[in-house]
Each structure stands twice: as structure tokens, then as C-alpha cells.
Structure 1
Amino acid sequence: MALTLPLLRRPGRTAVLLPGLVAAVILAAVGTAIGHAAPVVGSAVPAVVLGSLLATVRRPSAGLTPGLRFAGERVLQASVVVLGLRLSLRQVVTVGLGSLPVMLGTLAVCLVVARLVGRRLGVDRDLQALIGCGTGICGASAIAAVAPAIGAAGADVAYAVSTIFVFNIAAVLVFPLLGHALGLSQHAFGLFAGTAVNDTSSVVAAASAYGPAAVDHAVVVKLVRTLMIIPITLALAALTGRRTTPHTTPRRAPTRGRTLRLVPWFLVGFLLMAAVNSTGAVPTAAGAPIAAVSTFLITVALAGIGLSTDVAALRRTGHRPLLLGAILWVTVTVVSLAVQAATTGL
């Protein structure tokens, strides 16, 4: 309801969003049908793959863009909020604390490798930071938060987002297969996906292909990981300020209010819904419908993301940032599994 009310108050906005949303919903319906026919594949993966293939063959018209963007951002965030109704605050705290060793170990290694390998490859310092944070924390959201703190150029932001997108799609396709090959449990895969996949959408998509328990676990781990945006952004802003010389323009450090705004609204909504569920206000019988609604919203979001694939932008990214992204992706995957094996035994 919170999503629809602003649109109802602005009918012009609804008209702008509708074409792209309808396209995403239709593709999501196709993905859902495929998921019912082949449960092991799920619905999210077919939606994003088909969307990407369609975008490669024929770029969606400009009229579809607003609705597709809305699907890939707001609808996805709404699906995460709905997922909160399936968990209690006790579960959130337990899973969050239990994931800290894997999450912090993975993030630390990712940032160090980004710096060392990025410098070796000749990748610009700002681009190193953007790709490292995007891979280690939460994809495009981390890139958007870090960019103004370090004064990154728009081209660097575009390169970083394009690079992250490539490995988001790769994770959605490869990680469920890897999890089954390793015999990971639902919870183990959720921890793996929550710490090793770049973007929230891809975390949810990969976990959806593995199972409902994996989704619940992965979302909590991912949202705790997302909170790392705040200290990392502040640290990078401080380091950037120290590098400023008398002949350069100082970069404005994030204020306290601006820092608080880095916390995604859907994280707050997710916790509020978990709090509601903790009171027993949500009937047990509502669990299956809630899961179905959340899954379909996820599929709509992934369809929108797939249809928004900008193939030309990916080609313009060049091989060095992509190579850095690939190395970081493999590094995070290996470290996540290794730390989890060492701390929990998988």
C-alpha cells in the first residue's frame, strides 16, 4: 500500500511508470511459469536471463525506462520489506551476529585485494575504491554512497556499476549450482550468498533459486552487511581529505545527517515488519501467501533489471575494471566459503 499511494496521488507519474512495469510483470509471469515447471531453477533466474537476452537483441524504448527502473529499485525494496513479515527480531539478531566473522573477513580481504590488484592493473584509485566497495558491501548502493565521499568522476561510477552488474548476473547463475555441488544447507547457502554476492537484488535472486530458508537467511546477512556502508564511507572520506593538497579542492566529508541517510529505507521497513511479526500479529497461515507475494515481487524486480541491461555500457567499461571485478568476485567467493568452513564447518 505504501508503494501505491504516492502513485495514486500523482496519476501522471503512474502513466509514466505503467509501460515499463507492465513489461516487467509480463516477463515475471513467464519466469514464474518456468519456475513452476522447473522448481530447481526458480522464477527469478529465468526472469533476469530472459530480460537480459531481450535487451541484448533489442534495447527497450525510452518509454519503458522509468517503469523498468522503478521495478528494479522500488519493487525490489518492497519485496525485502515483505520478507520481514516472515522473520522475528530474535532471528534477525541471531543471524546477523552469527554472520559477522564471515562478513567482516570477506569485506576486509576484498578491500585489500582491490587496492593491491587494482594498482597492479593500473586501475584508477577512485575506481579501485568503487569496485572494491561495490563487491564487498552492496553493489550499486555502496558505489552511490562512496562516490560523493571520495569525489569520484561520473565515468568512474558508470564503469563501476557496469562491472558490478556483470558479476551480479554471473552470481545468480553460478552460485546456486556451486552451492548444490558443495552440498550446502539452506542456511549455509544463505550466509554464502549474503556475504559473497554484490547487490541485494542478486543476493535475493540467487537465494530464491536455492530455497525459501536460504532467502530468509541471505536477506538478513545482506542487510547487516549493507550497514557497513556507513563506516566505510566515513573512513574513505577521511582518507581522501588527508590526501587533499593546498592546490586541490577539498572534498566535503559526510555530515551526521547525511551519514544516517545512507541507511536504506527498506532496511528500516524490513526491521519494522520483523518487529510486527515478533508480536504474533501475523497468522501462521499467512506465511505461504506472504512468501508467494515476496517471490513474485522479486521476480518482477529481476525482470526489470534484466530488461535494463545496457550492453553498450558494458562494452565501454574496458577489460581492466572488468578484470579487477572478476578477481574480486572470485576472491570474495573463496574467502566467504573458507571463513564459513573455518568458523561453522559449513
Structure 2
Amino acid sequence: MQSVNTRFSSIEKNIFSTYIPGIILTALIALLAHFLGQAFPILGGAVIAILLGVIIKQTVGVPSLFSKGISFTLKKLLKAAIVLLGFGYSFTEIYSLGLNALIIVLIAVFIGIFLTYFLGRLFKLEGNIPLLISLGTGICGATAIATSGPIIKAKEEEIVYAVNTIFAFNVLAVLVYPLIGHLLSMTDHAFGVWAGIAIHDTSSVVAAGYNYSTAAGDTSVVIKLIRTLMLVPTAVILSVMISMKTKASAGGSDKVKISKVFPYFILVFAGAAALNTIVPLPDAAVEVTSTVAKYIILMVMASVGLGTDIGKIKSVGLRPLIVGLLSSILMGAVTFLLVGLFF
């Protein structure tokens, strides 16, 4: 019995020393960002959380003690926040987005992938880098790059290269998109759709959406989740293409497993929305889940800032950054026109 207790005590200590310091750091930054966001609403808490994280990273640095907790916040707590937001939705609201939203997402994914790939080749980016950047631009940022990298047999340095290229413009989008939306007097619904299909990474989409308004944030989450689902057929297509290429040259290739690339947290989000559809939750309960989710999103933005290494972004070089900038601008412009056309 004492051995079991000792083992559990050891596990608890390990969890605390591994994850808790980083989580606490992001929570403290989020708290400060929340109050500063109220004082400076033109920036908003999400942008301030990123800026505080970047300042800490570039000045005093982030000791390795905090690394795993910061990573956990970015990768796991973001999904938890999205699930919590699901309790504020009903299938009626999701359905109200209509077929137009799905059509725009499909067009945007197609344009994002092929346009960025063309630019990558035009600027003579080598190896798998053009394809990785195009997948990150078209689907869901770093997640798409990390998922598709092993499928296309990309080198580790190519994956890191592509992620850093995409990452630079994710951070910028959180600040720029809401400003453009307000300047153009976009409706909450239109902005939410635009942010959901134009901004690369899920964390940046959620932050930009809720930085604009609660209604815009709610719309952007649903649109982004639809877009994220495109990762599954894309992974299958890539796997088939690589398999055919490999068989033609060497004979044999690993097949992608749907279970490994499917974003299961979307099913949990749908379950939360289904519960609220069948048994509408009290307004007070929805308010609590929404408040907690939005605070976690600030923590996620803090982790984005703490993970921003300007030195690594500079090391990517000028050409990939130009490709990333051009594709981001073109993606934003094309999707803006699509939103105006369909909505």
C-alpha cells in the first residue's frame, strides 16, 4: 500500500513539476492581459496577451521549466476552450450558417493550397517546403503542417521551417484582421466567417473572432472547425499520391490512418452543442462556460507569445516570408470577396 502511495505521490510531483509552472505562467499573463484589454479595448486582451508573451520571451527569456506547460496550454487547453464554447451553441445556430459557408470553406481551402504552392515554386523554395506552407495556409496552420509532414516524408527541418513561416503571420492576423473589420464596418457574422476561412491557425482565428465581438467569435469557431475537418480528406489524398509515387519507384508505402489525423475534439464540441440543443442549458451555466473558455483563450494567446522566437523566424529567410506574406494577403482578399458574394 505504501508502495502504491509512493508511486502516486511521485506521479503527482512529476505532473506538477512538468506542466503546472507553464500553465500558471500563462494564466498570470492572461489575467494581466484581461485587465489591460479592458483599459485598451482597441488592442483587446488577446493581442496584449501575445505581446506580453513576446516581450517576456525576447527580454528575460523562458526557462525550460515552463516549456511543457506552455506547450500543453497551446495544444490541449485550446481544444478544451473550444469544447466549452460548444455549450453555448445549438445545432439550429450552426445549421443557420447554411450551405454557403461550406462552399466558401471548400473554395478557400482549394485556393489557399494551390495558390501558395504556386508562389512557393515561383520563389524557388526547395523540397517539401512549398507544399507544407500551402497546407498550413489552406487548412489549419501548424496542425496541418505537423500532420502532413510525416505523410509526405518531409524532413524535420522542413517542417520547422514551414511552421515558423506560418507562425509569423498567425500572430499578425490577430491584430490586423479586427482592425480591418472595424474599418470596413463588417457585420459580426461576416467578420466571423471571414476570420474563420482566412486566418491560418485555430488559436489565431478564435482570438481574432472574439477580439472583434462575441457573435463574430462564435461564428469564426464553427467555420474554422469545418475547415479543420478538411485535414482528413487532404491527408488521405496525400497518402494515396505518395503511395502511388513510392510504388512506382520502390514498391510499398505506409498508409495514413484516419484515426491518427481526425480532430476528435470537434466531435466533443458537437456533443456539447447537441446537449444544448436537446436540453437548453441555463443562461448562467452558458455564461460560466463561455467566460472560462475566453479566459483559456487568453492563456493560449500568452503561450503563442511565449513561443514566438523572432530569431527563428528571421532564420527562415526572406523568400519563405515573402511567400507567406503574399499568400496571406491574397487569401484574405479572395475570401473577403467570397464573403461579400455569398453573405
Residue matched to 1:332: 331
Task: Tell me, in whole angstroms, the C-alpha distance in 2 between the residues paired with 1:103 and 1:140.
Answer: 18
Residue matched to 1:226: 228
- Relative distance call for 1:280 and 1:9 in structure 2 (3 A) is farther
Q: 1:14 offset after TM fit, Å? A: 2.5
Residue matched to 1:318: 317
SS at match of 2:19: helix
Residue matched to 2:308: 309
Alignment RMSD: 2.0
Structure 2 counterpart of 1:259, one-letter code: I
Task: Tell me, in whole angstroms, the C-alpha distance in 1 between the residues paired with 2:34 and 2:142.
Answer: 26
Q: 1:311 offset after TM fit, Å? A: 2.3
Residue matched to 2:3: none
Show the 5 A alignment for 1:117-136.
117-136=119-138
Residue matched to 1:213: 215
Q: 1:175 offset after TM fit, Å? A: 0.2
Greater mean alpha carbon deviation, residues 188-197 or residues 48-57: 48-57
Task: Tell me, in whole angstroms, the C-alpha distance in 2 between the residues paired with 1:264 and 1:182.
Answer: 34
Residue matched to 1:145: 147
Q: 1:92 offset after TM fit, Å? A: 2.2
- Relative distance call for 1:247 and 1:262 in structure 2 (3 A) is closer
Q: 1:146 offset after TM fit, Å? A: 0.9
Give 1:53's match in structure 2, choosing from 52, 55, 60. 55
Q: 1:339 offset after TM fit, Å? A: 1.0
Task: Tell me, in whole angstroms, the C-alpha distance in 1 between the residues paired with 2:111 and 2:149.
Answer: 21
Residue matched to 2:5: none
Task: Tell me, in whole angstroms, the C-alpha distance in 2 between the residues paired with 1:59 and 1:329.
Answer: 29
- Relative distance call for 1:8 and 1:72 in structure 2 (3 A) is farther
Task: Tell me, in whole angstroms, the C-alpha distance in 2 between the residues paired with 1:75 and 1:335.
Answer: 32
Q: 1:314 offset after TM fit, Å? A: 1.2
Task: Tell me, in whole angstroms, the C-alpha distance in 2 between the residues paired with 1:234 and 1:243.
Answer: 14
Give 2:95's match in structure 1, choosing from 93, 96, 103. 93
Task: Tell me, in whole angstroms, the C-alpha distance in 2 between the residues paired with 1:75 and 1:246.
Answer: 43
Residue matched to 2:180: 178
Greater mean alpha carbon deviation, residues 334-343 or residues 287-296: 287-296
Q: Which of the pair has more CA radius of gyration?
A: 2
Task: Tell me, in whole angstroms, the C-alpha distance in 2 between the residues paired with 1:14 and 1:55.
Answer: 22
Q: 1:217 offset after TM fit, Å? A: 0.3
Residue matched to 2:193: 191
Native 8 Å contact 2:116 2:137 kept in 1: no
Native 8 Å contact 2:17 2:65 kept in 1: no
Structure 2 counterpart of 1:296, one-letter code: Y
Task: Tell me, in whole angstroms, the C-alpha distance in 2 between the residues paired with 1:324 and 1:241.
Answer: 28
Task: Tell me, in whole angstroms, the C-alpha distance in 2 between the residues paired with 1:309 and 1:146.
Answer: 22
Residue 236 of structure 2 is aligned to residue 237 of structure 1: no
Identity %: 33
SS at match of 2:254: coil
Structure 2 unaligned segments of length 5 or more: list them: 1-7
Structure 1 counterpart of 2:313, one-letter code: L
Task: Tell me, in whole angstroms, the C-alpha distance in 1 between the residues paired with 2:201 and 2:171.
Answer: 10
Q: Give the TM-score, by structure 2 length.
A: 0.92
Greater mean alpha carbon deviation, residues 40-49 or residues 220-229: 40-49
Equivalenced residues, count: 336
Structure 1 unaligned segments of length 5 or more: list them: 1-5
- Relative distance call for 1:250 and 1:53 in structure 2 (3 A) is farther
| 1:215-248 C-alpha deviation (Å, 9 max, x unpaired) | 1100000000000001111112222233337655
Residue matched to 2:275: 276
Task: Tell me, in whole angstroms, the C-alpha distance in 2 between the residues paired with 1:102 and 1:293.
Answer: 31
Structure 2 counterpart of 1:287, one-letter code: V
Native 8 Å contact 1:105 1:335 kept in 2: no
Q: Give the TM-score, by structure 1 length.
A: 0.92
